[in-house]
A and B are shown apart, each in its own frame.
Chain A
Amino acid sequence: MRNPQRTQKIAFFFLFLATLFIVIPVGLIVVIIIQKGLPAINWQFLTDVPKQGMRSGGIFPAIVGTIYLVSGAIIFALPIGLLAAIYLCEYAKDNFLTKIIKLAIVNLAGVPSVVYGLFGVALFVVFLKFGASILSGSLTLGIMILPIIITVSREALESVPYSFREVSRSLGASKWQTIRYIVLPNAISGILTGTILGIGRAAGETAPILFTVAAFYLPQLPNSIFEQVMALPYHLYVISTQVPNVDEKIRYGTALVLLALVLFVNLVAIIIRYKFRKKKKW
């Protein structure tokens, strides 16, 4: 005879185990990086330029470079992605062309990041003659995170109940007024979620910036968007594989700074999102 009580317990045990397995690696990554990286963190490490062939000194130029690149990518991708999402969700008719566009966006999300890197070189660095520069790198990262922003923004827009749109239109509001005053304010927290995901991805990727912007060693800060910069993920790659005899704590310290930077940006976005959600009245 089967004992339903026992079956239940076994099922519960395996489900719990699976969930635990997700937590363990995440926890371990954070613990190991903090444990090994924290000793390296001090004021000099955060504000000084790399010295002695990057074996000592700080990582300030890489921090600044990553901030520039992520900001650039968001400035480029958020407006375009949001406008495209509004078009696809509110205006586009459900026809063949729209289906192709949607399929293209899904496929774009699945393209490996190194392919974006090569594409960025071909289009921005070579064809448009931006050279290896902040502009080229930001645009490449921007294109990489576009599908994330579009997909999540579309979901956010679609989650606003249709009845709100109908009520607004019945009061004589135009389609655009309805989007502006009713749909967007209620979709904003979802759109911010997409932005958070985009920021995380843009900050962490190495391949797209490898050929389009990242400098191996460039202690001075850039003066314009047409110059190269160092960036944290590439710097981490360089000191881990290209430069011999780099102290372990510097490597883990760099990783920790990158992790903290992404978490910090996410935190800001989460707080903004929380504020908007509290205002949400349904």
Chain B
Amino acid sequence: MVEFLIRDLNIWFSSIHALKNVTLEISANEILSVIGPANSGKTTFLRMLNRLNELNANFRMKGEVKIAGQDINDMNVELLRKKVGMVFALPLPLPLSIFDNVAYGAKIHGTRNKKKQKEIVEHALKQAYLWDEVKDRLDTSAFELSGGQQQRLCIARTLAVEPDVILFDEPCSGLDPISTAKVEEAMLKLKENYTIILVTNNVKQAARVGDKTVFFLSGELIEIDKTDKIFTTPSDKRTDDYIRGKFG
């Protein structure tokens, strides 16, 4: 099943042409890894999928992005973001307790019942492999958690909204190897129920978790294929060079 259909997508910020004629499909219940050097448009691409680019006043776009057959620009943006959750590069807990961080989305989307909130929080924290570490201190500040725990909290917070798609924007860039392994473990488990798009600067991570991998360079989509293929016999020389660390 096709989750996202992106056709001739162009994005500008003021006069900077950030994405150029990008066309691709993203299938449901898969992990798509997005790789490329800095300023290649990876994050811009990711933030297009939940329309977060719009927060920047200089943003302009042309082309078509459809989710489950519906043009995202015709949708209610709050509803789109409920369907398409996002985990940021740095662990960014809200200045609230652990419980309230996870419950925030549910509250925003109208879950007032305290018992229901508790169920949602527990379920989301379990899915993010954090429940056992925090179940006795849900009322303490989220800032008292370690970096890795904070990032899993952010994943739980995203899951609590019950999205269909989760966007990961370099989620392990600030984490140690053990925390990274835990986040990757969570992602592999999550793809059973969610479509995952993972922007990463870590090529090895893309190879470890991605079903498909897409390579961006200077705002252009160079190549998209099954991860095995990209990492063994890429069809474009630039992909090969990047994966081997010859540039970027």
Residues of A within 8 A of B (CB): 93-94, 163-174, 177, 181-182, 185-186, 280-282
Question: Roughly how many angstroms separate A94 CA and B88 CA in the complex, as a whole number?
Answer: 27
Question: Roughly how many angstroms separate A166 CA and B88 CA in the complex, as a whole number?
Answer: 10
Partner of B96, one of A93, A165, A171, A281: A281
Task: Flag if A280 contacts B95 (CB, 8 Å).
Answer: yes
Task: Flag if B85 contacts A170 (CB, 8 Å).
Answer: yes
Task: Flag if A167 contacts B81 (CB, 8 Å).
Answer: no
Task: Flag if A169 contacts B95 (CB, 8 Å).
Answer: no
Task: Flag if A172 contacts B57 (CB, 8 Å).
Answer: no
Q: A93-B57, A163-B92 are in contact. Are A170 and B143 (CB under 8 A)?
A: no
Q: Shortest Cβ distance from A243 into chain B, in angstroms?
A: 55
Task: Flag if A281 contacts B95 (CB, 8 Å).
Answer: yes
8 contacts between A and B (CB under 8 A): A163-B92, A167-B154, A168-B94, A170-B50, A170-B88, A171-B158, A172-B81, A177-B108
Question: Roughly how many angstroms separate A167 CA and B104 CA in the complex, as a whole number?
Answer: 11
Q: Which residue of A lies closest to B154 (CB)?
A: A167
Partner of B78, one of A167, A173, A181: A173
Partner of B142, one of A182, A280, A281: A281
Q: A281-B141, A281-B143 are in contact. Are A172 and B108 (CB under 8 A)?
A: yes
Contacts of A282 in B (CB 8 A): 95, 143
Task: Flag if B95 contacts A171 (CB, 8 Å).
Answer: no
Main secondary structure of the interface of A (DSSP, over half): helix
Task: Flag if A171 contacts B88 (CB, 8 Å).
Answer: no
Q: Which residue of A lies closest to B144 (CB)?
A: A281
Q: Shortest Cβ distance from A22 into chain B, in angstroms?
A: 35
Task: Flag if B94 contacts A170 (CB, 8 Å).
Answer: no
Q: Shortest Cβ distance from A33 into chain B, in angstroms?
A: 42
Q: Beta-carbon contacts of B83-113 to A below 8 Å, as 1s and 0s?
A: 0011010101011110000001101110000
> Which of A170, A185, A282 neighbours the largest number of chain B CB atoms within 10 Å of its CB?
A170
Task: Assess whether B16 is interfacial by the CB under 8 Å rule.
Answer: no
Task: Flag if B104 contacts A168 (CB, 8 Å).
Answer: yes
10 closest cross-chain pairs (CB), A and B:
A281-B141, A172-B81, A172-B82, A171-B105, A170-B86, A281-B95, A282-B95, A173-B108, A172-B78, A167-B92
Task: Flag if A164 contacts B95 (CB, 8 Å).
Answer: yes
Question: Roughly how many angstroms separate A185 CA and B158 CA in the complex, as a whole number?
Answer: 22
Question: Roughly how many angstroms separate A166 CA and B90 CA in the complex, as a whole number?
Answer: 12
Q: A174-B78, A177-B108, A281-B141 are in contact. Are A169 and B55 (CB under 8 A)?
A: yes
Q: Beta-carbon contacts of B138-165 to A below 8 Å, as 1s and 0s?
A: 0001110000000000100110010000
Q: Which residue of B lies closest to A168 (CB)?
A: B94
Q: Shortest Cβ distance from A186 into chain B, in angstroms?
A: 6
Question: Roughly how many angstroms separate A174 CA and B154 CA in the complex, as a whole number?
Answer: 19
Q: Which residue of B lies closest to A93 (CB)?
A: B57
Task: Flag if B81 contacts A171 (CB, 8 Å).
Answer: yes
Question: Roughly how many angstroms separate A170 CA and B92 CA in the complex, as a whole number?
Answer: 12
Q: Beta-carbon contacts of B21-56 to A below 8 Å, as 1s and 0s?
A: 000000000000000000000000000001010010
